[in-house]
Amino acid sequence: MHLHATGRETAGEVLSAMDEAGVSLACILAPFLTPPYSLQDGASLQAANDYAAALVHGAEDRLAGFAVVNPALPGAAAEVERCVGLGLRGLKLVPAGWYPYDDAPRAVYAAAEAHRLPVLFHSGIFIDGRSSRYCRPAYYEALRDSPTLRATLAHLGWPWCDEAIAVALIDRIHGLRPNDCQFRLDISFGPPPPYRQEVIGRAWQVLGAELLLYGSDRFLPCTGADLRRAQSEAAAVLDRLGLSDAEARRVFSENARDWLHARPT
Ligand SMILES: [Zn+2]
């Protein structure tokens, strides 16, 4: 989960880093944080989505390409449709200049529902240092109006982790099985190291391992050693918390495969 393309990687490099780190399947997000790509420039996002589609083409069994659109820009829902045609299998959305409960993103949510695209939402503090107010976890309650949308809130919503856990808990309180729940949380970097164990531990204790997805949040190109280091850090945290091997397997692979509608190997 949650590998960022930058426009500077090749599929060969990505696959060999994955081989080196023992990663069989990775979600690759279209570039949007590295020039010339920008969330505020719709033409650049179309180019980013074309780039992501070309990057994963021919390796779709190992690379799940995620499109990026800005719902506040005209044509965002049409761009989602176009990306489905390109073979992209999910959507990454970053509320930056729009709120998840606004009217603007609803057409994008509808397109994602229609094509059963899982959506990875940024949640919590945002790297631009300006947009975090749009990314509060509770704002994603608006997704309940799109009940078949399958969302993952990234970074455990840090620093609003309690809020993210509470949002994800509601379906469990209503008795839904984990696979039927609308929200998952990714445990990718967000909480800095002194917070990580406590925050991941709380999420595990409250939600269970089934709703947690591992993500490295690394920027490509990176080495297999980089991916391996990210995995080892997360594995050490899960181990210290006392997750069973079966639970750790869920977090590292099975939950993401279910979420992508991919079959476990
Ligand atoms: Zn990220």
Ligand 1 centroid, distance to 32 Cα (angstroms): 10
Share above pLDDT 90 across residues of the chain, in percent, rounded to a whole number: 96
Cα 53 from Cα 245, distance rounded (Å)? 34
Question: Terminal CA-to-CA distance of the chain, rounded, Å?
Answer: 16
Query: Which of helix, strand or coil describes residue 261?
Result: coil
- Structure-token pair, residue 125: 């503090």
133: how many CB neighbours lie within 10 A of its CB? 11
Ligand 1 centroid, distance to 218 Cα (angstroms): 7
Look at the chain and count its residues. 265
- Provide the 8-state DSSP code for 254: I
What average pLDDT does the segment 107-122 reach? 97
Ligand 1 centroid, distance to 221 Cα (angstroms): 14
- Look at residue 218 and tell me whether its pLDDT is greater than 50: yes
Cα 39 from Cα 34, distance rounded (Å)? 10
Which pLDDT belongs to residue 263? 47
Cα 11 from Cα 239, distance rounded (Å)? 32
Which pLDDT belongs to residue 262? 56
Ligand 1 centroid, distance to 3 Cα (angstroms): 7
Q: Give me the DSSP letters along 39-67.
A: TT-HHHHHHHHHHHHHHHTT-TTTEEEEE
Going along the chain from its start, the domains and CATH numbers come out as 3-259 (3.20.20.140)
Which pLDDT belongs to residue 261? 81
pLDDT 10s digits, 7-64: 999 999 999 999 999 999 999 999 999 999 999 999 999 999 999 999 999 999 999 9
pLDDT 10s digits, 126-164: 999 999 999 999 999 999 999 999 999 999 999 999 999
Mean pLDDT of the chain: 96
169: how many CB neighbours lie within 10 A of its CB? 17
pTM: 0.96
Residue type at position 146: S
- Look at residue 6 and tell me whether its pLDDT is greater than 50: yes
194: how many CB neighbours lie within 10 A of its CB? 8
Ligand 1 centroid, distance to 4 Cα (angstroms): 6
- Look at residue 265 and tell me whether its pLDDT is greater than 50: no
